[in-house]
Chain A
Amino acid sequence: RKEVEQDPGPFNVPEGATVAFNCTYSNSASQSFFWYRQDCRKEPKLLMSVYSSGNEDGRFTAQLNRASQYISLLIRDSKLSDSATYLCVVNIAGTYKYIFGTGTRLKVLA
């Protein structure tokens, strides 16, 4: 079983739609969680950290469920520029290593 699992997609949604991605992790020692965005042939860029209390940044909302070991990302009012691969990233307690999920591809259609 992969340490961090995501549905690879692609998710094809119209502009203005709301879309949600989930990610599950297997290591209960995971302590920090992030969503990164990666555009084609580019490096990943931090979208947002995920806190236990959940957090929101504009159109993006992230949630963490430690009991079920999953995190989610909700994108409201999708824009064409949101088209990218969204990577779920987990950091294991006591290490500085980041474990990446395979990513979920999003295509926002005009």
Chain B
Amino acid sequence: GAVVSQHPSWVICKSGTSVKIECRSLDFQATTMFWYRQFPKQSLMLMATSNEGSKATYEQGVEKDKFLINHASLTLSTLTVTSAHPEDSSFYICSARAPSDEQFFGPGTRLTVL
């Protein structure tokens, strides 16, 4: 199956710093990627839809100025958590929509903010 990678796989940072997470589709072009967040024992919550070459679409309640999304190419979307705080600690997962419309998930990035 198609492969989607994320980097880094885990990160620990101090409160107030910014963290960038990369999501890459390795063997297909993805005009649309999605960013999810999953807190312990909860489901994946869609944060935003990342569209190549245009602005991301954020879900209700997600601060676009805090979670900056850039989808500069057909194989790369980045999520930057700005001024991270402990409550932002979570498992961040991206998915990429393949030309077949199937979505493939990245392995996730575990963020811990101290």
Q: Which residues of A contact B (CB under 8 A)?
A: 41-46, 87, 96-103
CA of A102 to CA of B103 in the docked complex: distance in angstroms?
A: 19
Q: Which residues of B contact A (CB under 8 A)?
A: 32, 34, 36, 42-46, 49, 91, 93, 95, 97, 101-103, 105-108, 110
Partner of A87, one of B43, B101, B108: B43
Among residues of B, the one whose C-beta sits closest to the C-beta of A97 is B46
Q: A96-B32, A96-B97, A96-B101 are in contact. Are A44 and B46 (CB under 8 A)?
A: no
CA of A100 to CA of B42 in the docked complex: distance in angstroms?
A: 10
Nearest-neighbour CB distance to chain A for B28, whole angstroms, equals 15
Chain B residues whose C-beta falls within 8 Å of the C-beta of A99 in the assembled complex: 46
Establish whether residues A98 and B34, one from each chain, have CB atoms under 8 Å apart when the complex forms.
yes
Specify the main secondary structure of chain B where it touches its partner.
strand
Nearest-neighbour CB distance to chain B for A38, whole angstroms, equals 8
Most buried by B among A98, A102, A103: A98
Establish whether residues A98 and B95, one from each chain, have CB atoms under 8 Å apart when the complex forms.
yes
Partner of A43, one of B42, B45, B93, B101: B93
Establish whether residues A43 and B106, one from each chain, have CB atoms under 8 Å apart when the complex forms.
yes
28 contacts between A and B (CB under 8 A): A41-B91, A41-B110, A42-B108, A43-B93, A43-B105, A43-B106, A43-B107, A43-B108, A44-B105, A45-B105, A87-B43, A96-B32, A96-B34, A96-B97, A96-B101, A96-B103, A97-B34, A97-B46, A98-B34, A98-B95, A98-B103, A99-B46, A100-B36, A100-B43, A100-B45, A100-B46, A102-B42, A103-B43
